[in-house]
Amino acid sequence: MHNAALAALTTTTPRFADWRYFRFEIHPDDLPRALELFREKKFHGLNLTVPHKIIAFDRIAAIDQAARPIGAVNTLLLTPAGWRGHNTDGYGLAAAIRENLGLDLAGAHVILLGAGGAARGAAVECLQRRCASLWIANRTAANLTAMLSDLAPLAAGIALRGFAPGTPPVDLPSGTLVINATSAGLRPTDDLPVDLTRLPNVAAVFDMIYNPPQTPLLARATSFGLPSANGLAMLVHQGAKALEIWTDVPAATTAPIMAAAARTALAR
């Protein structure tokens, strides 16, 4: 995605002619030293995936204010002081939901499935954009309780509640946007992360998983005639936002190019 965007930018902006995006396999134990080496070699920026997003959080010079509540960074920018950390996942989620479902997180009643790292980033984005309410479903009560406690300072008047997926509360609001931030659906034999028939009048379903393109949850949503979307657009928009941080080129400019490249790669 990034190299396709850089190639396109080069046609109008020669300074990007020698920019390249590389993939490195780094063992988690080696990440602190790797960050030093990437800085010494003057890499302009880095993307990080799990578990590096969390490991790097306490090992870089600065953290973007919006990323602090998440406790993880997926994009690093080299500055004179060292690496500055950002998290573009929330932006990618909001942009994908707007693009694919025509919905905004602001003012929405959201049911979020999961209490892991991906769910935390999504929850922070929902609260920062002032959703109407946020209901988090997770099977492990201890993880859910800890996440709700961490998020409480961000809620500031927004209804923030948790529940077990198998026992939705009777006072769930109607017309909710359901967001799956669990890994349930990566395999066709996975159980559904939630029973949609037990949720009142669902407005739409978004699944962060993009491969396979249709998870069991999305298939069930389709069978009910519900608007639904997978996570490919989220992948694209978070990547475009990272490229904006490195290049100052607006994410909206490169997102269509990156989307086309992502679809081509997945088709292979």
Using one digit for the tens of pLDDT, what is the confidence trace for 2-45? 999 999 999 999 999 999 999 999 999 999 999 999 999 999 99
Cα angle 149, 152, 154 (rounded to 5 degrees) comes to: 140
53 is catalytic: yes
Evaluate whether residue 244 is within a structural domain: yes
- Whole-number pLDDT of residue 94: 98
Region 115-119: what's the mean pLDDT? 93
Q: Are residues 106 and 225 in the same domain?
A: yes
Evaluate whether residue 93 is within a structural domain: no
Number of Cβ within 10 Å of residue 98's Cβ equals 14
Q: Are residues 151 and 208 in the same domain?
A: yes
Q: Are residues 32 and 113 in the same domain?
A: no
Evaluate whether residue 110 is within a structural domain: yes
**Per-residue CA distances from 33 to 26, 40, 46, 76, 78 (Å):** 10, 11, 14, 15, 15
Tokens describing residue 179: 């967001």
- Whole-number pLDDT of residue 102: 98
Q: Are residues 134 and 167 in the same domain?
A: yes
Evaluate whether residue 147 is within a structural domain: yes
Per the CB < 8 A criterion, the answer to whether 251 and 9 are in contact is no
Per the CB < 8 A criterion, the answer to whether 114 and 193 are in contact is yes
Q: Which helix (H) or strand (E) holds 10?
A: helix 2-10
> Which of 41, 42, 53, 241 is labelled catalytic?
53
Q: Are residues 139 and 29 in the same domain?
A: no
User: In whole numbers, what is the pLDDT of the chain averaged over residues?
Assistant: 96
Region 191-195: what's the mean pLDDT? 94
Domain range for 77 is 2-87+233-267
Q: What is the pLDDT of residues 38-74, one digit of tens each?
A: 999 999 999 999 899 999 999 999 999 999 999 999 9
Domain count, the chain: 2
Confidence at 144, pLDDT banded by 50, 70, 90: very high
Q: Are residues 122 and 39 in the same domain?
A: no
Helices (H), 74-204: 89-101, 117-128, 141-155
- Whole-number pLDDT of residue 188: 86
CATH of the domain at 59: 3.40.50.10860
